Chain A
Amino acid sequence: MISFRADARAKNLAGIDRRKKLFQKLLNDQFRYKVYAMYRDLNRVSPQFSGDYVSNWELVTSSTSPRGYQEWKNKGSVLVSQQPKHAGDSDAVDFSLRRMYRVKLDYRDKVYFYNPTPVEFTATTATGPDGKTTALRPENILSPPQLLFSYLKANYGK
């Protein structure tokens, strides 16, 4: 009788352990899904000229350290060498996303979105494809990181 109880108890404990692991896996999946979605939005909406700014977005966790600024180099692709680029152009975004998938995420980690690019958003005019230079609309002069983080806060913050 005693041995039967011990056996049942061991089985129960194993079951609890299994469920705990399953729960942790679900938490991890959900956490990863949210963080990846935020990071993708951040990359897709960030402004681009050379692609340098977007290619330097980095997902940093409490257990990894940032790699620091690295210039976005042309890799021989025609698309890569075209300037100016536009928000969402895929070369720099893909480059940044490939690095994102290499980061191992755990739901207990603290996660940071980090961009060390030495860029100052001071442009007030832009030259179009026709060669004409026009004044930027006021909303294009606003700080992109502020707008992006406001968007992330509103949509993922709760």
Chain B
Amino acid sequence: MRTSPLASEIELIQTALKGSRQSYDELVKLWSARVYSYVRSRVRHDHIAEEITQDAFVKAYCRLDKLRERDRFGPWLLTIAHRLILDWAQKKERGETNLEPAHAELLRQPSDEDSDDSQLSNLRRSVDELPETLREAIYTYYFEKMTYQDVADILGVSVGTINARLAKARALLRKRMLVHQGELN
């Protein structure tokens, strides 16, 4: 992650592992905004984003002893959140959630806070038109500008694959931006 973990964060993990719930609550406070933002950028639905964020923290707590590199709590937490997002998307495709619109449509729906800026709208449209694997690479990488290694860890692929996906996604985006620009003009 761009933000290097504080020594206190590692200490919090260590004390949480010894059973200190207070320490884990502190970790939740430290990371809730970032996890929520990441999830929210993928699901575009407040209620679902909150649920997934909560579940990510609960799951992380239950598996805290599996975190071998204590200084990588953030990427590890986002990996859990990422998988929960995928699970949610799969469930919705199977009709197992109550949410009406499909996942893909949700991603394409501009949120209320979206900017009206036409260039940004074009970009959002172009990103949403990307294949899922490329889109998730873009969302995950540009979320707090992680390292390729972090993205690879979160998505469970190699660094080379991330490099290739990002390059392909950007090339497609550049082309599509030009097309959408042409449509507007």
Q: Do A and B come from one complex?
A: no
Residues of B within 8 A of A (CB): none
Binding site for B on A (CB under 8 A): none
